[in-house]
Structure 1
Amino acid sequence: MIEQIRSLPHQAGIYQYLDGAGRILYIGKAKNLSKRVKSYFNLTPQLSPKITLSLRIQKMLSEAVGLHYIIVENEHDALILENSLIKQLKPKYNILLRDDKTYPYLYVDMEEPYPRFELTRKIIKGKGIRYFGPFSIGARDILDSLYELLKLVQKKSCLKGKKGCLFYQMEQCLAPCEFQVPRETYLPMVAQGIEWIQNKRRLIRELETKMEFYSESLRFEEALVLRDRIERINKSELTSQIDLASTENYDLFAIAVNETRGCILRLFIRDGKVASTTHDFLPVTPYFSLDEAYERTLVGFYGNEKPPIIAPILTAHSFESSDWVHEHLSTLFGKKAILEVPQRGGKKELIDLALTNAHELLRAPQPTNESLLSGLKELFELDTSPIRIEVFDNSHHGGDATVGAMIVYENGRFDKKSYRSYHLHERDEYGQMSEMLRRRIEGFATNPPPDLWVLDGGATLRALAVDLLSSHGLYLDVIAISKEKIDGASHRAKGSARDILHSGENTLRLESSDKRLQFIQMLRDEAHRSAITFHKKTKIKIDQSSKLLAINGITLPKIHKLIDYFGTFEGIAKSDFSTLCELIGKKDAESLRNHYRETASK
């Protein structure tokens, strides 16, 4: 490796340290690759890590046997590429945070004759636009509350009509579409809405009054809806007695850590008041770096789109790559970003408030689910307690309608929006799992890997997954679960099945009452349910399409041949005529082409 280090160019780029198995240990960035990488080592009398480095970096370098690098145009590109590769490749010594959601804003266009409040995640063109937020939770609840409490124009389409609609009859709108409503009469309601957004305590009092009215009127279901809405709006706000005596905006980030986990707290100050707050937990491993945690947090939060409100950024701690992040954000914002660590005054009080709350969140008892995940980490000797888990299973019937399913478990619940289904072509279970996992790995560029994979299968399929990841230079914890076999048959007695867990070289047989086993079984069963459901839908579709093709004289063996080649009937419909001729002959290819032409014209 010493020759690689000596020959590094004096250009901006990213560098990757690799271990003996070719797995990436760490990804870093540099304005000058040669200077940065050489700063890690003593080159004489022999290559060795500098003793001034942190123990984390010294341990990483002790495992490194190879070095790769990529040259880029400038430091900004290096930061973006580093962030992207860390998410995709999940190196052992880097910190990987799940991508921050794009938090919504409320906005109103004051140039409209009758302004309305809307939600947005992007900048809206217009000189009269006013933004409020971002909101980590409760934005939709606030919006719904405004339209229930104020007689605003309820829908964009309302003004296109010529007559008052149901909203007018329900006394929820003044119906300016039909009646001459002076703008001066309408605008005070908009001002009231803005006041409630900026002071959610007053909005909540209004909602509580309405909830009591529903309750007294025995309209309990409506009262429960408002109760839940009030609770969500409450969660978005961190109460503070701090008065900045100004109308300034700030985006504040504070990270607190203990021995096992950290808390990232984001605080948004708008017009001198706490507008909303959000927090996430992250695992603290022996490889944890507070510097990198701040970098990943800021780059992940702002992403690659200019936010509707650009505010000075305050962090609770200084961090090594702040210059890089500052330059990146300045480019993103289209103007010089403000990034500072307050030392005194009102801004320092806000930092202290954020850190106090972050430490309190860490001190709170871990939810049962979090304790369970910590138990999995110890049992399977995982790198971290898994926050996001992906589970895979496949399904078919006699080799027909072969499909796969990936389900996702994150933050204590099944994330059904992240579920994926796959049409598979391979004939055996090994090939089907290989096909599905390969396709998932190829998607890491846009959908980063999780903390843990769980496979429905035995040690062979687990070894397959590890080999596939390794061949792509990836490291990811993988476990598998297989049925206990009694007299050569899988034992499926519900509640007493002692499924076998496979992790590394270990085969674990836990008692059926073990919560950790039950948790993995729950994940496996959900993946199985998802795969079976998708299989049934696919089978019905295949049967229906097969009957239609058979009517056109295409034999069942030829239909199977086409499905094996194209994967789906949609693929057959879009295929070129010459390929069809090669597969089933010119006569049947013409019948097939005519069939799809007739279907498309209907």
Structure 2
Amino acid sequence: MPSPLVQTLKTLPKKSGIYQYYDEKGVLLYVGKAKNLHNRVRSYFRVTDATPSSNLSPRIHNMILKVASIQTIIVDSEMDALILENSLIKQLKPRYNILLRDDKTYPYIYIDTASPFPRPKITRIKRKSCIYFGPFCTGSKELLESLYEVVPLVQKEGCLREKKACLFYQINRCLAPCEGKITQEEYQKLLTQAINYLKDKKSLITKLEEKMLRVAEQERFEEAITLRERIKKISSLSMHSQIDSHTQDANWDIFALEHNAKYAVLMKLYMREGKIISSDYEKIILHQKSLEFEERISLYRQALVNHYGKDLPLPPSAIILPSEIEGELEECQEWLTIKLVFPKKGEKKALVELASKNAKEILKIEDSEYEIKQGLKELFSLHTLPHRIEVFDTSHHAGENNVGAMVVYEEGKFIKDSYRMYHLEGSDEYSQMREMLVRRAKDFEKTSPPDLWLLDGGKAQIHIAQEVLESVGVELEVIAIAKEKLDHKAHRAKGKARDILRAYVEGEYKEMRLLPSDTRLQYFQKLRDEAHRFAIKFHREKKLKGFIPRG
């Protein structure tokens, strides 16, 4: 009798769909898409005995040796397979897929032209009757605040509704159209001035510098410092504007991927009206010391689906990509309404080279925590380096004002925009932790799982996390950190705290007691302490609200 795996290989459908490889323990190893499942999946195996094909890379060969079962999902088209593949990779984090996590929508500044007295605002979604500026990968908030600093636009929408001037009119920061003190025609001139500043950030910086010097001379130093920080942020934006296109209406997004033995970097440049207005990148930890061509294509594919799967306020007219991947993203082109361009020469080719050059420069920047993360990977037998970590803690007092907090750490810094606060119903620390982790796991489809969960607690908390992750089909590393107890009290001596690390390693729970001087322990202590601080802060705010009398 042929083995179940051989039987599966012989009966694969000749249709578009998704294939999933599982090991003997039912752990998901890999998710892929195929125009023809029969041909694609069988290319990995010798069909007679389900052993690896001879033309596979060492890494993929090793994966195929572990495959015990295959599941397929048939879809109507290759485009449907593309979208489903991307969703499953983000949500389930298969061990052998390289995950591109960046699916955020960048902010735009917009002006509602249907309003009689419009004011610039920030949005991430497309709206009717609006003009847009962006996308801004950074600095949109500072840019908007600076516009209101130098142009006396409407500062508060409530004033227009109530038809009553506010304090901003008194300090000459608004000309009070709410009370008819300025006509629509006169206000339009102010709005045009603001639009010109958005297009020419150097002139805006000049205005801000003049005001900074003026308030500094008046010894209003806090205002001067605020203006100085805004100038720094906007200056980083204006530097992009020095790179111009000969095509003044060029609205292009440019992508380039580079890698070394540790990381890959996907660089993105955004050009609008012939100027590069912003840039961003994603750094991806590699599972091996090379990046195969198919994996490069997968990362580009993920980037396109992540970023252009939304109705963007100001989409580009073309997406510029390296010429060496031409012909590899045809299913993306069928799905996208934006043209994919693979230039071999000329200005567009130079822009791809510019993106590539920037990606290489980012790769040169050493990860100061790489050795610590490598040490943690070896200590806990982790499948990958803990690049992005989510840290959880709870806080309550006598079972009241129960809250939870999640902080996020990535690339040597806390990502405060990704912090989350949870109002919890549980009456004890275990039910509270479960409630918080369940709510986070339900959000995996929207916000990809991290590389590691770090929990404040011990073996019980790890067990809860494993149950939660198993319920959603996600394999994720989990480590717990707890303070050592001395006479039933937590040992908190500064610089000597002997916190205990626990993890489920190779089928059993293990306890690690590292020296207080161990940088791996200090690394986790830093993360735990930030989660604790954030949870306590939220708890106190909730408790304080309970003291405020209502009515």
Question: Shorter-normalised TM-score: what interval?
Answer: 0.7 to 0.9
Distance 1:532 1:357, change over 3 A: closer
| Contact 2:111/2:131 (8 A) holds in 1 | yes
Contact 1:430 1:461 in 2 (8 A): yes
- The answer to whether the 8 Å contact 2:9/2:47 transfers is no
1:326 and 2:330 are equivalent in the alignment:
no
Moved more, 222-231 or 105-114: 105-114
Structure-2 residue corresponding to 1:278? 280
2:234 aligned partner: 233
Seen in structure 2, the aligned counterparts of structure 1 residues 533 and 439 have a Cα distance that, compared at 3 Å, is: same
Q: Tell me the amino acid that sits aligned with residue 335 of structure 2.
A: H
Name the SS for the 2:271 alignment partner: strand
In the other structure, the counterpart of 2:219 is 218
Structure 1 residues without counterparts, runs of 5 or longer: 331-336, 545-598
- How far apart, in 2, do the equivalents of 1:75 and 1:370 lie? 39
**1-side partners of 2:492 and 2:179: how far apart?**
67
Cα 1:108–1:524 change in 2 (3 A) is closer
Q: Aligned to 2:121, what secondary structure does the other structure show? A: strand
TM-score normalized by the length of structure 1: 0.78
Residue ranges of structure 2 left out of the alignment (5+ in a row) = none
Counterparts of 1:178 and 1:531 in 2: how far apart (Å)? 45
CA contact (8 A) 1:137 1:235 kept: no
Structure 2 counterpart of 1:524: 528
Counterpart contact for 1:403–1:534, Cα < 8 Å: no
Amino acid at match of 2:6: I
Report what 2:256 is aligned to. Answer: 254
Alpha-carbon distance in 2 for matches of 1:536, 1:156: 32
1:172 aligns with 2:173: yes
Partners of 1:242 and 1:349 within 8 A in 2 = no
Could you tell me which amino acid in structure 2 is paired with residue 250 of structure 1? W
TM-score (norm 2): 0.85
Compute the displacement of 1:389 (Å).
Answer: 1.7
Whether contact under 8 Å (2:243, 2:275) holds in the other structure is no
Cα gap change, 1:3 to 1:514, in 2 (>3 Å)? same
**1:422 CA drift (Å):** 3.3
Map of 1:23-172 to 2, 5 A cutoff?
23-44=27-48, 46-110=49-113, 112-126=115-129, 129-160=130-161, 165-172=166-173
Q: Deviations over 1:571-596 (max 9, x none)?
A: xxxxxxxxxxxxxxxxxxxxxxxxxx
Deviation (angstroms), 1:356: 1.1
C-alpha distance 485-109 of structure 1, shift in aligned 2 (>3 A): closer
Q: Which amino acid aligns with 1:79?
A: L
**Among 302, 306, 312, the residue aligned to 2:308:** 302
Alpha-carbon shift at residue 40 of structure 1 (Å): 2.4
Identity over the aligned pairs, expressed in percent? 44
Change (3 A) 1:110 1:41: same
Q: Deviation at 1:339?
A: 0.9
2:488 matched to 1:477?
no
In structure 1, C-alpha distance between the alignment counterparts of 2:188 and 2:547, rounded to whole Å = 60
Q: Answer yes or no: is the 8 Å Cα contact 2:163–2:178 preserved in 1.
A: yes
Amino acid paired to 2:307: F
Letter in 1 for 2:195: I
**Deviations for 1:366-401, whole angstroms, at most 9, x for unmatched residues?**
3x4566445533543433332332234456778x55
The within-5 A match list for 1:579-598 is none
Cα distance in 1, alignment partners of residues 372 and 518 from structure 2? 11
Paired position in structure 2 for 1:420:
422
Give the number of aligned pairs: 533
- 1:398-417, aligned counterparts within 5 Å? 400=399, 405-411=404-410, 412-413=413-414, 415=416, 417=419
Would you say 1:315 and 2:314 are equivalent positions? no
TM-superposition CA deviations, 1:523-572 (whole Å, max 9, x none): 3344455666777899999999xxxxxxxxxxxxxxxxxxxxxxxxxxxx
Q: Is the 8 A contact 1:242 1:350 kept in 2?
A: no
1:5-50 CA distances to partner (integer Å, 9 max, x unpaired)?
Answer: 2222233221110011111011111233223222323324x32333
Tell me how far apart the structure 2 counterparts of residues 174 and 539 of structure 1 sit (CA, whole Å): 41
Alpha carbons of structure 1 residues 443 and 123: separation in structure 2 relative to 1, 3 Å? closer
- Name the CA shift for 1:488/1:64 in 2 (closer, same or farther; >3 Å): same
Distance 1:180 1:393 in 2: 53
Letter in 1 for 2:286: V
Equivalent pair of 2:255/2:266 in contact (CA under 8 Å)? yes
CA 1:223–1:535: 2 relative to 1, 3 Å:
closer
Find the aligned partners of 1:267 and 1:83 in 2 and give their Cα distance: 22
Give how far 1:89 is off. 0.9
For 2:542 and 2:134, how far apart are their aligned partners in 1? 44
Amino acid at match of 2:144: L
Question: Post-superposition shift, 1:320?
Answer: 7.3
Q: 2:7 corresponds to which residue?
A: 3
Q: CA deviation at 1:82?
A: 1.6
After TM superposition, the structure 1 stretch with the greater mean CA deviation from structure 2, 107-116 or 506-515, is: 107-116
C-alpha distance in 2 between matches for 1:489 and 1:65: 48
Taking a change above 3 Å as real, the CA distance of residues 225 and 482 of structure 1, as seen in their structure-2 partners, is: closer
CA RMSD of aligned residues (A): 3.4
**Distance in 2 (alpha carbons) for counterparts of 1:236 and 1:314:** 21
Give the 3-state SS of the residue equivalent to 1:15 in structure 2.
strand
Give the secondary structure class of the aligned counterpart of 1:136.
coil
Shift, 1:156, TM fit: 3.4
Decide whether the 8 Å contact of 1:392 with 1:454 is kept in 2.
yes
1:202 Cα deviation from its structure 2 partner:
2.1
Report deviation, 1:432: 6.4
User: How far 1:154 moved relative to its partner?
Assistant: 3.2
Cα displacement string for residues 479-522 of structure 1 (whole angstroms, at most 9, x for unaligned residues) = 22234456787644343122222342554332212232122123
1:454 matched to 2:454? The reply is yes
Q: Which residue of 1 aligns with 2:493?
A: 493
* Corresponding residue of 1:592: none
Q: 1:269 aligns with which of 253, 271, 296?
A: 271
Instruction: Specify whether residues 179 and 292 from structure 1 end up closer, same or farther in structure 2 by C-alpha distance, changes over 3 A only.
Output: same
Distance in 1 (CA, whole Å) between partners of 2:113 and 2:431 is 59
Q: Is the 8 A contact 1:23 1:470 kept in 2?
A: no
Residue pair 2:458, 2:482 contacting (<8 A) in 1 also: yes
- 1-structure distance, mates of 2:161, 2:91: 48
